[in-house]
Amino acid sequence: MNIFPKNLIEASDLNKKNLYQIFTKAKYFEENYNPKEKFNDLKGYTVALAFFENSTRTLLSFELAAKRLSAETLNFIASASSLVKGESLADTIRTIDAMLVNMYIIRNQYAGVPYFVSTITNNIIINAGDGKHEHPTQALLDAYTILKHYGKIEGLKISIIGDIFHSRVARSNIVMLHELGAEIGLYGPGTLMPQHLNYWNAILHNNINEVINWSDVVILLRLQNERMQSGLLPSMNEYIKFYQVNLANFTKKDKIILLHPGPVNYGIEVEHCLTKQHNSMIDRQVTNGIFTRMAVMSLLTNIEDK
Ligand code: CP
């Protein structure tokens, strides 16, 4: 019997077997998707979308995923809530719990909030991104996108380029892609690299052409100005010169795909003209996000699999 976790708070909550269960279920949902019919996996469930930090992709795809599984959804908008009047996060969660919800999807600007909520409620928690900590469903949809393209993940060389220090996407991807047997390469300005580099068991690259040439997959990251102290980069022009993926450097490599979690700073970490005809997977990642999130929600509520 496989043990599926109760909550998804960080990538290490999922072992390889859990990950392939999610990919198999996501493929099932993708292949059987019919806009006129819903799946019944979450019929009778109420899902609270508790987003304390802005989001387009994650919020909308979780909402669509929940609705396609026949759940009721409750949208909690922090800026329009009684948090503004001074109500605590714990009291907010207890109040939503009293409305008989079953699952929380939590996005918060502070690392650790989904874990904190899991100590207050017995309902299912899915981390939709917490500060600089983790964003496990982004890593799931990235892995699913790579698996669909290459038919495997084991043995692939996957590089993560850019603002790794502030990136919850990088942290979740490194853990999950290692669990799936990929080799990880990292490249970015020294001031935007994670601390304790040895801990990440990754190959460090020294220039943009070298890292692209090494890679089967490039995952680009956004410069996260909202989490950055001033002075971490000498100038934007220098960042573009040394770290941007563009038509000239990316198309030198024959077999390679480009992923980016979004939102994208076009013209900074990536050139505008790189599109799906050059193997940019950015739009496909968004579509795959719905199916992988449907799969996670379904499996977390499937008592027989626990
Ligand atoms: N990738 C991602 O988390 O995007 P959003 O902030 O738009 O949800």
Residue with tokens 């928690």, as numbered in its chain: 125
Going from the Cα of 98 to the center of ligand 1, the distance in angstroms, rounded, reads 29
| Tens of pLDDT, residues 157-186 | 999 999 999 999 999 999 999 999 999 999
Out of 49, 52, 58, mutate this one to test ligand 1's pocket (max ligand atoms within 8 Å of CB): namely 58
Whether ligand 1 lies within 6 angstroms of the CB of 58 is answered as: yes
Nearest partner of 92 among 82, 84, 100, judged by Cα: 82
How many CA atoms lie less than 13 Å away from 167 in the CB half-sphere? 29
Calculate mean pLDDT across residues 68-96: 95
Predicted model pTM = 0.95
Per the structure block, which two tokens stand in for 136?
């496990």
Residue 231 has pLDDT above 70, yes or no: no
Whether ligand 1 lies within 6 angstroms of the CB of 55 is answered as: yes
Residue nearest to atom 3 of ligand 1 (CA): 58
Spell out the domain ranges in the chain. 11-135+287-305, 136-282
- Percentage above 90 pLDDT, the chain: 88
Q: What pLDDT, on the 0 to 100 scale, is given for residue 234?
A: 73
Q: How far apart are CA 66 and CA 49, in angstroms?
A: 10
CATH number (3.30.1360.10, 3.40.50.1370, 3.40.50.10710, 3.10.20.30) of 11-135+287-305 reads 3.40.50.1370
Q: How far apart are CA 84 and CA 217, in angstroms?
A: 43
| Max CA separation in the chain (angstroms) | 57
Residue 281 has pLDDT above 90, yes or no: yes
Going from the Cα of 159 to the center of ligand 1, the distance in angstroms, rounded, reads 20
Q: How far apart are CA 120 and CA 93, in angstroms?
A: 8
Whether ligand 1 lies within 6 angstroms of the CB of 138 is answered as: yes
* Positions of E strands within 189-300: 203-204, 217-220, 257-259
| Tens of pLDDT, residues 183-209 | 999 999 999 998 888 899 999 999 999
Superfamily per CATH, domain 136-282: Aspartate/ornithine carbamoyltransferase (3.40.50.1370)
Q: How far apart are CA 161 and CA 243, in angstroms?
A: 8
Are 297 and 64 within 8 A, CB to CB? no
Q: What pLDDT, on the 0 to 100 scale, is given for residue 295?
A: 98
Out of 52, 53, 54, 55, mutate this one to test ligand 1's pocket (max ligand atoms within 8 Å of CB): namely 55
Residue nearest to atom 6 of ligand 1 (CA): 55
| Tens of pLDDT, residues 234-271 | 788 899 999 999 999 999 999 999 999 999 999 999 99
Same fold, 11-135+287-305 and 136-282: yes
Q: How far apart are CA 222 and CA 283, in angstroms?
A: 16
Q: What pLDDT, on the 0 to 100 scale, is given for residue 233?
A: 77
Going from the Cα of 158 to the center of ligand 1, the distance in angstroms, rounded, reads 21
Q: By three-state DSSP, how is residue 37 classified?
A: strand
Going from the Cα of 62 to the center of ligand 1, the distance in angstroms, rounded, reads 11
Q: In ligand 1, which atom is closest to the CA atom of 107?
A: 8
Are 46 and 71 within 8 A, CB to CB? yes
Query: For residue 140, which amino acid is it?
Result: L
Whether ligand 1 lies within 6 angstroms of the CB of 7 is answered as: no
Per the structure block, which two tokens stand in for 196?
């304790």
Whether ligand 1 lies within 6 angstroms of the CB of 108 is answered as: no
Whether ligand 1 lies within 6 angstroms of the CB of 289 is answered as: no
Q: In ligand 1, which atom is closest to the CA atom of 54?
A: 6
Eight-state DSSP code of residue 73: E
Tell me the CA distances in angstroms from 59 to 54, 63, 100, 104, 295, one per residue in order.
9, 6, 21, 12, 16
Going from the Cα of 219 to the center of ligand 1, the distance in angstroms, rounded, reads 14
Going from the Cα of 1 to the center of ligand 1, the distance in angstroms, rounded, reads 34
Whether ligand 1 lies within 6 angstroms of the CB of 149 is answered as: no
